[in-house]
C-alpha cells in the first residue's frame, strides 16, 4: 500500500501537479485538516485552466484557501 503524504482523498491531477511546483504550498496543504483539504479539492473543481490552478495553489500559503 502506498503512503498518502497528504492524508486526504485522492488529489486531482491538476492540483497535484501545481502543488509539486510549489513546495511551500505543498507543505501548507499537507498541514491542513482533512476537511480543509477537501474544501481546497472541492474549490479546484471550479478552476478551468492550468494558469488559474497554479495561481490558486500559489495563493494557498498566503491565505488564499477560501478564495
| 21-55 tens-digit pLDDT | 999 999 999 999 999 999 999 999 999 999 999 99
- For 36-39, which contacts have Cβ atoms below 8 Å and span 24 or more sequence positions? 36/65, 37/6, 37/7, 37/8, 37/9, 38/8, 38/9, 39/65, 39/66
25 vs 66: which has the higher pLDDT: 25
* Mean predicted lDDT score pLDDT of the chain: 87
The Cα 51–Cα 47 span in angstroms is 9
Distance of CA 56 to the CA centre of its chain: 8
pLDDT band at 1 (very low <50, low <70, confident <90, very high): very low
Amino acid at each position: 500500500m502506498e503512503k498518502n503524504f497528504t492524508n486526504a482523498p485522492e488529489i486531482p491531477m491538476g492540483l497535484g501537479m501545481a502543488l509539486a511546483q510549489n513546495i511551500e504550498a505543498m507543505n501548507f496543504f499537507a498541514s491542513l485538516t482533512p476537511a480543509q483539504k477537501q474544501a481546497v479539492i472541492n474549490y479546484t473543481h471550479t478552476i478551468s485552466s492550468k494558469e488559474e490552478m497554479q495561481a490558486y495553489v500559489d495563493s494557498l500559503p498566503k491565505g488564499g484557501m477560501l478564495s
